Amino acid sequence: MSETDMSTSAVAATPVVRKDRRMERRAALAASGGTVLEYFDFAIFGLLAATVFPTVFFQDLDGPAALIASFATYGVAFVARPVGSVVFSTIGDRRGRRGVLIATLWIMGLATVLMGLLPGYATIGIAAPIILVVLRFIQGVASGGEISGAQILALEHAPTERRGRAGSSVAIASPLAQALATLVLAGLTAGLSREDFVSWGWRVPLVASIVLLAFAAWVRSGVTETPEFVAAEVRNARRTSPVEVLKRYPGTIVLLVLSYAAPACIFPMVTAFGVAYMTSAGGLAPSTTFVLFLCAQLVAIGAALLGGRVADRIGSRNTMLIGLVTLAVAFVPLFPVVHTGNVLLIGVCTAGSVASIIFVMAAQASFYAYSFPVRMRYFGSSISYATTNVLFGGTAAVVAAWLLSLTGGGVWAVTAYGTVLIVVNFLAVLARPARPEPVEELLDDEQGVR
């Protein structure tokens, strides 16, 4: 039977999914709000890992070792993501998306607040970095169920012709959160002495994130369960296990893992490792670096909106390919131009890299989600995204620092690593069958890319 015939027969056997425009907008806001909190927490942690944590939590180590240990702590959350993705996505595919996303929000938010209250190494000794790692792990577990779930919440409330824009509602959360984090830290570093910032100022944004947590929880609690999941419940669609998803869609999962490898790696490579490299090797003042990254995030907000609209016109696959090409153009010269000290060139390459990643992310949401049927969608998308971030995102800053040390400061190795990932990523996206994404009513559990 042809794919079209399968789609037709599935639609005929499936209740019509009716979607409400008002709830579509609230779902997009709920997805975006929760993800803003996650990215704010991750952005703050990444920036602090590069500037403050080596002193506060790893002061018994020498400079390079302290920085690597700090970046390794940053990567713990990426290692924890698959745990959260398995647990929360399994529940989400069985019980629904809404309740899971409220739980992940609170777990993630409270872990962040506790980080801000944690005493440093000078106060409680080795217990400080240990507790920091535990809290970072908990934060990572919660985030493992957050992003893919938020994307699915927005996508399944949106009609087919607005799926790209629904996906962009989550993508836009990243630059918004990064911009907010950059503004907060820039304000603190400008208004406080170095001693005060290291002593207590770095804690302010972590504790203050409870405001974002409260707002996001309020918005998310007002969202109904997604129409596509409800329709699957009505027709009593068979529930599946994670093992079954892995058995039925191994090729799809491998392709999806590789299809986001470059953005997953290069984003922390630019925003975490890049901060340290620009100040140490490039001689840029921390305030200048903050301004550069703020401008990059503002450009990326526009890229997220553009990526969603482009995906609605030409499809998520083609949109991702375009974004990967522009990422290569911007990223390859980024670290080499740092040595020129030309702030304009550094800013253009930084903004181009970050904006390209967010452009890709806007399309990645539907590219991932609609590779799986409804009852397998949360787990399939979540485990793919989490695995990508473990393999490529969580290791990015550490690998970059290690390559720099291995080559005696040769930044070419870092650039080469990122470039190879872009090529592999591009080929993986090409390898995914270029088929129309399933219509919104198609809930049959045979749908998907094998």
Q: State the total domains in the chain.
A: 1
Whether residue 2 is contained in a domain is answered as no
- Residues 234 and 214 sit within 8 Å (Cβ to Cβ): no
Domain CATH number, residue 378: 1.20.1250.20
State the angle between helix axes of 286-314 and 316-331 in degrees (0 to 180), rounded to the nearest 10: 150
289-307 pLDDT, tens digit per residue, is 878 888 999 999 999 999 9
CA-nearest of 289, 302, 264, 277 to 418 is: 264
210-251 pLDDT, tens digit per residue, is 998 999 999 998 998 888 888 887 776 666 778 888 889 899
- The sign one gets for the Cα dihedral 52, 80, 252, 378 is negative
| Cα-based angle 404, 71, 296 (whole degrees, multiple of 5) | 80
> Is 426's pLDDT higher than 80?
yes
CA-nearest of 302, 206, 222, 220 to 32 is: 220
pTM: 0.81
Position 16 scores a pLDDT of 54
Whether residue 109 is contained in a domain is answered as yes
Whether residue 148 is contained in a domain is answered as yes
Whether residue 160 is contained in a domain is answered as yes
Mean pLDDT is lowest, of 68-72, 163-167, 435-439, for: 435-439
Reported in sequence order, the residue ranges of 15-125 that DSSP labels E, i.e. its strands, are none
CA-nearest of 164, 104, 68, 114 to 386 is: 104
What residues make up the domain containing 44? 20-431
Whether residue 318 is contained in a domain is answered as yes
Whether residue 5 is contained in a domain is answered as no
311-333 pLDDT, tens digit per residue, is 999 999 999 999 999 999 999 99
Whether residue 14 is contained in a domain is answered as no
- For the chain, the average pLDDT equals 85
Q: Which residue has the higher pLDDT, 118 or 55?
A: 118
Whether residue 247 is contained in a domain is answered as yes
